Amino acid sequence: MHQKTIAELSQALAQGTYSSEELTKHYLQRIKQWDTSLNSFITVCEETALASAKSADEARRQGKAGPLTGIPMAQKDIFCTNGIKTTCASKMLENFTAPYDAMVVEKLNAQGMVMLGKTNMDEFAMGSSNEHSHFGPVKNPWNLDCVPGGSSGGSAAAVAARLVPAATGTDTGGSIRQPAALCGITGIKPTYGRVSRYGMIAFASSLDQGGPMTQTAEDAALLLNAMAGFDERDSTSLDAPVPDFTADLNQPIKGLRIGLPKEYFSAGLDPAVGDVIMAAIKEYEKLGAIITEVSLPNNHLAGPAYYVIAPAECSSNLARFDGVRYGYRCKEPKNLEDLYKRSRGEGFGEEVKRRIMIGTYALSSGYYDAYYLKAQQMRRLISEDFKRVFEKVDVIMGPTYPSIAFKIGEHSKDPLEMYLSDFYTIAINLAGLPGLSIPAGFANSLPVGLQIVGPYLNDSKLLNVGHQFQQHTAWHQKIPSQFAK
């Protein structure tokens, strides 16, 4: 069962090959068997999952089933779930139980999906390796000594090891695409505003976006159909029609204009990763695509801009965690100031505190114009670069991550080196564009991801382009050997 895609599982359920309850029990057993080595889950919801599966089976008997009814999945532990702990992988929210569901949770529940649990992540989604979790690091299923990428590393590892057929993630600067690349799965960051942020605990509000993490582009399209849509409770939600993201999957891509930014293939890219990416590009040429070199001259500004804007917004969003209303509270505070200082100092991890301090400094009197305002101006230049390039090409392609997965602890003492690894992904968030990462091959026995970026609202085109590649390659079918049984 676990080697099947969502599309295949949906067909099997419709044919009565097995029930949702049987499917759910199978995946719960896999989580029990294998997650002790991966640490991809923070919370497993066995009782509620089995109840949901029974409800899904009943809906199918009554002829009320849709394509996702009865399909197991996992939610990143940043999405609020009514009556189930939502920790954000932080001591600050270690015992927080949300009184409502996030919009993404509501939508997937309405489709009859079965939530098996909440996945591990970098604390408050701040990190690129999933080492910054109060509950310990997540391991990469391809090599347990390596990181899975972050911040949605738990979701990526669980899907790669086939502990779940799909999971949700969030992407502020690459946190869906990077772990998808390092774990060898498919992940899409939709156009900003396409998926509601209501009930998704905020890191950087102008950058955060939820999206699906799956085995294939087809599965991602099925999930995005359910997740996308306008939500009046989210002021950043996009009030625009939602297409059927599966409708154009099988459209041929002959004549597709692919742009390769020269900045993506410069110093800093692991040559072995570059070779895999170029082999994937050649596969697209065989399918009739036209390859053109393009330039994003302001792409080098993305890192400095992002690491001012994101921490600034993080500083503002995380001010609510003060030990007064909810979340962690220090013991026996001497006064209100002591309560604030010790609750935040003890409740937040080192990476979160680092980003809060950077953001607070950038927003402080006398520095706002010099840093935050300047970063927003750089953001505009980056967006204009993309607009110019998309007048000449249909999509941009390149590596998702500059290297293969590195060893746990290898970069933990050098935050700047970790920040620089976001080079290929953060500009897409700054511009609000859709970005897709698909498995493209292996380097030194570890997965490599190909990133595909499209114009605003062209999510369907990215899924079509990814799906066509997967119809002619088998990288997305690879499973780490120890988890294939």
For the annotated catalytic residues, the residue numbers are: 76, 151, 175
Alpha-helical regions (H) of 327-423: 336-347, 350-363, 374-389, 415-420
The neighbour count for residue 317, using CB atoms within 10 Å, is 18
Cβ proximity of 242 and 459 under 8 Å? no
d(CA 34, CA 19) in angstroms, rounded, equals 23
169 backbone dihedrals φ, ψ, rounded to 5°: -145, 175
Strand order of the β-sheet with 435-443 is 41-44, 114-119, 72-76, 166-170, 210-214, 186-189, 435-443, 446-453, 395-399, 257-261, 290-294
- Helix (H/G/I), strand (E/B), else coil: 242: coil
What's the one-letter identity of residue 191?
A: T
Query: Which DSSP category does 257 fall into?
Result: E
Place of tokens 């949770």: 105
**Contacts by residues 474-478 (CB-CB < 8 Å, ≥ 24 positions apart):** 475/184, 475/438, 475/439, 475/440, 475/441, 475/442, 475/447, 476/184, 476/185, 476/186, 476/215, 476/216, 476/438, 476/439, 477/215, 478/184, 478/439, 478/442, 478/447
d(CA 145, CA 220) in angstroms, rounded, equals 28
Q: Find all residues with CB under 8 Å of 28, minimum gap 6, and list them.
A: 44, 46, 49, 50, 116
Cβ proximity of 190 and 209 under 8 Å? yes
163 backbone dihedrals φ, ψ, rounded to 5°: -80, -20
Reduce the secondary structure of 93-104 to three states and give it as a string: HCCCECCCCCHH
- Packing angle of the helix pair 103-110, 217-227 (nearest 10 deg): 110
Half-sphere exposure of 383 (CA within 13 A, CB side): 15
